[in-house]
Amino acid sequence: MAVLEILDRIPLLAGVPRSVEELPGGLTNHNYKVTTPGGAYVVRVWASDGSLLAIDRNAEHASSIAAARAGVGAPVHAYLPGEGVLVVGFIPGRTFTQDDVRDSANLPRVAEACRRLHAGPRFVRDFDMFDVQRRYLAIVRERGFRLPDRYLEFMPVVEQLRKCLEIRAEGTVPCNNDLLPGNIIDDGRRLWLIDYEYAGNNDACFELGNVWSESDLSLDQLDELVTAYYGRRLRHKIARARLLGLMAKYGWTLWASIQDGANDTIDFDFWSWGMEKYERAVAEFTAGGAGGLGRLMDEAARAD
């Protein structure tokens, strides 16, 4: 078994009694829980170098350490870039589902975990979905990967969004940037945030908007989440999170296109996953009436 050979090259795990269990999930890694007399660990083995997806493994390692120092990430025990391995502590607890994130009782807990991360040490790199989306688009077009119908039609609107969001930009904080439900662990007392492949200093509202996107929350639930994060209801922050959540859907669609075209090591329907996000993005781009993008951009650009 190849993973056993890898474990034998990790000093912490070599030459000790151990049990190995493959963990579900993981779209860019193979993850294993390894239990030894000294404790339980998660061994993350890269499924690719991540370069096409804007994953910097050294930055992931540094960000994981920073998140652990913030008290919201798992402790980091080993990093072997030559082996494509990161070893972190196993956090006993229950992995969140979409229903957990959608539970109004949990939204303040998610907001609190985000605040802890955002108040922690800054990360070694920045993350801006507008930049990442442009890079992904260039890769998709250069390599001839599939592009959803009408995708390019919305690029002028994306530029309007970028300019709008610059008006009330308030700086960046260390963000996970990938808080799908499976990256939230409940130990029964508090929540932990895991997986820092896309971590970088970013607008806090992107984090909140991405949570909204990844768990397909209602607009009322987005309102609850943003209000819990800031401690009071701020219409311009709610609008900002919604616009950045839209940008998350639009950008991660191309992540799925790249994975669909380039990743043959993980058995997963990346295209369908991405198209589900894209269809929700199109609905946002094309919404008219009182809830349209024009009103949202107005709200995001002005003080309450």
- Rounded to an integer, the average pLDDT of 261-287 is 89
- pLDDT of 50 above 70: no
185 or 50, greater pLDDT: 185
For the whole model, what pTM was predicted? 0.94
**pLDDT score for 71:** 97
- Rounded to an integer, the average pLDDT of 74-90 is 95
- Return the percentage of the chain with pLDDT > 90, whole number: 85
**pLDDT score for 294:** 92
* SS3 (DSSP) at 80: strand
DSSP H helices, 74-233, are 98-102, 107-118, 129-143, 155-166, 204-214, 219-230
- pLDDT of 185 above 80: yes
**pLDDT score for 24:** 82
Domains and CATH numbers, the chain: 2-90 (3.30.200.20), 95-301 (3.90.1200.10)
Contact 220, 234 (CB under 8 A): no
Chain-wide mean pLDDT for the chain? Answer: 93
Confidence of residue 2 (pLDDT cuts 50, 70, 90): confident
**pLDDT score for 164:** 96
Vertex 273: Cα angle to 267 and 278 (nearest 5): 155
